[in-house]
């Protein structure tokens, strides 16, 4: 037999055909990809959980019951889950009809599921614009909106080739999440962070793209106080995780890896939203003769010099004018 390989998760022989999958088609034409992405066995391994997938409490907690059962019993498994748990059907939050999560497209918003009719999104049109295979069967976990192709390709040029497929998965997830829940400022920073985490040596190839996408948003949210009720926009950790269909624990674990890997800190100037720059004291701290100076207290000519040196994002004295 030719073109066979072993699965990383369970060491079973399987078709070595992942290269046949077309990005964003959601087609089920790759045996290797189907098992690694759409079974509890593959997810358990990718997330780095300990023990056997059959009795993993983390898998059970982090995956909604209906999808947990599907991942454990579908045709992509070598060994199926015995005695799968019962679950309540998923209903559209607006019209109340049953949504079969493993077969239908849907939108997640505010922790609720919406069918394609109530979401106002023509999923067939979205898939067509993304170049999807007509026979694509896998559901959209979150609506992946149409992206600005040329601009996204510019970002992709900065990504290590090995991580290119994951980069597009991350960005399409964070783009749609920001379009629905946040704003363009978060969307741009999420793209930039996706580039930073998709570099040689990064652990992001291990784990589901949705988990890492949630980690990216949560990391940026921590820096920019997204969970502060006084901020606009504002989201809780639970709402962010629900928007990506992952558990809070999984999201926070991925955010910790990102935070430590990129050596981020609270108020990190490099990852502050443009609209938050004026509220971040670290943005304005400039070293002068060995002393740290808040440049906003300096004369305008000093601010201009700091701006021209690329030390500050704009001239605060000019922004303060009526």
Q: Where are the alpha helices (DSSP H) in the chain?
A: 31-38, 40-46, 57-62, 65-73, 116-119, 123-129, 149-156, 164-181, 184-197, 209-223, 237-244, 248-261, 300-308, 316-319
Q: Which residue has the higher pLDDT, 127 or 145?
A: 127
Q: Please give the pLDDT value at position 52.
A: 93
Which range, of 111-115, 123-127, 277-281, 296-300, averages the lowest pLDDT? 123-127
Q: What is the pLDDT of residue 264?
A: 84
Work out the number of other CB atoms within 10 angstroms of the CB of residue 183. 13
Of residues 130, 135, 122, 170, the one with CA closest to residue 146: 130
Question: Would you state the pLDDT for residue 129?
Answer: 44
Q: Distance (Å, rounded) from C-alpha 119 to C-alpha 35?
A: 30
Beta strand 90-91 with 4-6 is unpaired
CA dihedral 185, 186, 187, 188 (to 10 degrees): 60
Q: What is the pLDDT of residue 139?
A: 37
pLDDT value, residue 96? 93
Nearest to 191 by CA among 233, 157, 242: 157
Give the dihedral of Cα atoms 205, 206, 208, 212; nearest 10 deg.
Answer: -70
Return the pLDDT at 30: 86
What is the pLDDT, as a whole number, of residue 48? 74
| 315 or 214: which leads in pLDDT | 214
Relative to beta strand 4-6, strand 98-99 is unpaired
CA–CA separation, 144 vs 99, rounded Å? 18
pLDDT bin (cut points 50, 70, 90) of residue 118 is confident
Higher pLDDT, 29 or 195: 195
Per-residue pLDDT reduced to its tens digit, 170-182: 998 899 899 989 9
Cα(23)–Cα(19) distance, rounded to whole angstroms? Answer: 10
Higher pLDDT, 182 or 37: 182
The CATH architecture one would assign to domain 149-271 is Orthogonal Bundle (1.10)
Contacts (Cβ under 8 Å, ≥6 apart) of 86: none
Q: Residue 114 pLDDT more than 80?
A: no
Q: Does position 67 have pLDDT exceeding 70, yes or no? A: yes
Look at residues 287, 269, 288, 265 and name the one whose alpha carbon lies nearest to residue 278: 269
pLDDT of 63? 83
State the pLDDT at residue 283: 63
Instruction: Output 286 or 223, whichever has higher pLDDT.
Output: 223
Q: Assess whether pLDDT exceeds 70 at residue 59.
A: yes
pLDDT confidence bin for 312, thresholds 50/70/90: low
pLDDT digits (tens, 9 = 90+) for 72-110: 999 999 999 999 999 999 998 889 999 998 887 666 665
Cβ atoms of 243 and 177 within 8 Å: the answer is yes
Q: Collect all residues with Cβ–Cβ distance below 8 Å to 26 and sequence separation of at least 6.
A: 127, 132, 133, 136, 137, 138, 139, 140
Domain boundaries of the chain, sorted by first residue: 4-73, 90-129, 149-271, 281-319
Nearest to 131 by CA among 112, 144, 114, 121: 144
Tally Cβ neighbours within 10 Å of residue 229.
8
| pLDDT above 90 (res 225) | no
286 contacts 306 by C-beta, under 8 angstroms? yes
* Bigger pLDDT: 194 vs 105: 194
């Amino acid at each position: 037999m030719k073109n066979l390989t072993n699965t990383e998760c369970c060491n079973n022989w399987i078709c070595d055909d992942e290269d046949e999958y077309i990005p964003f088609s959601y087609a089920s034409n790759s045996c290797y990809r189907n098992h690694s992405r759409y079974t509890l066995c593959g997810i358990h391994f990718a997330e780095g959980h300990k023990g056997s997938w059959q009795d993993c409490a983390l898998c059970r907690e982090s995956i909604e019951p209906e999808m947990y059962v599907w991942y454990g019993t579908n045709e992509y498994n070598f060994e199926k889950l015995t005695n799968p748990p019962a679950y309540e059907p998923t209903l559209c939050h607006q019209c109340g009809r049953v949504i079969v999560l493993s077969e239908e497209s849907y939108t997640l918003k505010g922790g609720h599921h919406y069918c394609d009719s109530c979401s106002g999104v023509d999923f067939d049109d979205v898939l067509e614009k993304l170049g999807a295979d007509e026979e694509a069967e896998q559901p959209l976990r979150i609506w992946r909106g149409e992206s600005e192709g040329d601009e996204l390709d510019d970002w992709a040029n900065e990504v290590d080739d090995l991580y290119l497929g994951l980069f597009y998965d991350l960005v399409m997830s964070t783009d749609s999440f920001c379009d629905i829940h946040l704003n363009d400022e978060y969307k741009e920073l999420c793209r930039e962070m996706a580039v930073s985490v998709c570099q040689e040596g990064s652990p992001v190839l291990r784990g589901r793209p949705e988990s890492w996408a949630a980690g990216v948003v949560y990391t940026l949210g921590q820096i920019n106080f997204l969970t502060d009720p006084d901020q606009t926009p504002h989201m809780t950790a639970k709402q962010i995780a629900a928007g990506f269909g992952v558990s809070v624990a999984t999201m926070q674990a991925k955010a910790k890896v990102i935070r430590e890997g990129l050596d981020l800190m609270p108020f990190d100037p490099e990852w502050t939203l443009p609209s938050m720059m004026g509220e971040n004291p670290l943005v304005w701290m400039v070293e002068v003769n060995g002393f740290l100076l808040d440049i906003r207290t300096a004369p305008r000519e000093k601010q201009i010099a700091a701006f021209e040196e690329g030390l500050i994002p704009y001239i605060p004295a000019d922004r303060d004018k009526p």
